[in-house]
Amino acid sequence: MAEQPIDGWFTEIFDRQGSAISLKVKEKLHDVTSPYQHLEVYATETYGNLMVLDGCVMLTDRDNFLYHEMMSHPALFTHADPKHVVIIGGGDCGTLREVLKHPGVERVTQIDIDEEVTKAAARFFPTLTESNNDPRADLKFEDGVKWVDNCADESIDVMIIDSTDPVGPAEGLFKTDFLKRCHRILKKGGVMVQQSESPLYHTDSIIRELREDMEKAGFDSVATLPFPQPTYPSGWWSCTLAGKACDVKQFREQDAEQASFALEYYSATLHKSALVLPPFMKRLLER
């Protein structure tokens, strides 16, 4: 993956897949190198502002609702009564905002290692951070793996792993060892969800391995939900849910239908359809 700003275009190249995604940019708004990563923000012609970490598109104003709604509402409507939610990563606060829409949630602890991401989000993506002052939100800037290690057994209802790609700093978040630790801190009936890359590019690798690792970690059900994400590799993305004494193929359908808050992509019927795996994924995952 590389970044190549040519003639007013930002491009993320997916070399191994022989493909790329480009956005026409007006100007670079921000450029900072933190101890953890290189963060850039661009103003684009047609996608609003764009946040890039280490050359990889993280989000744009125009299409982040797809990812953020799918990283939060399926897991929250799967859990019977989510009260304490933990987000690992997610420093832009887009997932946090969606989680806080659920009136039953009492506490959301977000642990992102890099405060620069949250600072840039507050400045250039203010709608994503608009709920940060909610008294239920607790933002921590530290190592998520260490935080999980210090967390009490069976104390969390829902865990959301809103990470970068599983290379470099986030690699460990996809492995059995970390998933076991997540399993330990979830209460019975708990749900975890992990962003799980592209169905087109990664079903036979990252997605299959993550699901196997979740099962090895002790989770008794898994489900991968695909959704469109036009500015990520292949334009198509996924999240994978895992349940601890909870079937993640079922959800509170009536509650989802009657959701009292505004949604742009997620709905009860969308959730049901996202649980249906396309035949090529079924073949690769269930063999």
Contact residues for ligand AG3, defined by CB under 6 A: 1, 12, 56-59, 67, 90, 92, 94-95, 162, 164-165, 195, 232-233
Note if 162 is an active site residue.
yes
Catalytic hit among 162, 177, 204, 220? 162
CB nearer to ligand AG3: pick between 77 and 125: 125
Q: Please tell me the total number of residues recorded for the chain in this structure.
A: 287
Residue whose token pair is 């002052």? 133
- Closest distance of CB 48 from ligand AG3, Å: 14
> 176-185 vs 208-216: helix axis angle to the nearest 10?
50
Detail the DSSP E strand segments found in the chain. 2-3, 9-14, 19-33, 38-44, 49-53, 56-60, 84-89, 107-111, 137-140, 156-162, 186-195, 221-228, 236-243
- Closest distance of CB 14 from ligand AG3, Å: 7
CB nearer to ligand AG3: pick between 91 and 190: 91
From CA 210, how far away is CA 260, in angstroms rounded? 33
CB nearer to ligand AG3: pick between 12 and 69: 12
* Residue, CB closest to ligand AG3: 56
- Closest distance of CB 11 from ligand AG3, Å: 12
CB nearer to ligand AG3: pick between 164 and 221: 164
- Closest distance of CB 58 from ligand AG3, Å: 5
From CA 254, how far away is CA 157, in angstroms rounded? 20
Residue 231 is given by DSSP the state T
Residues involved in catalysis = 162
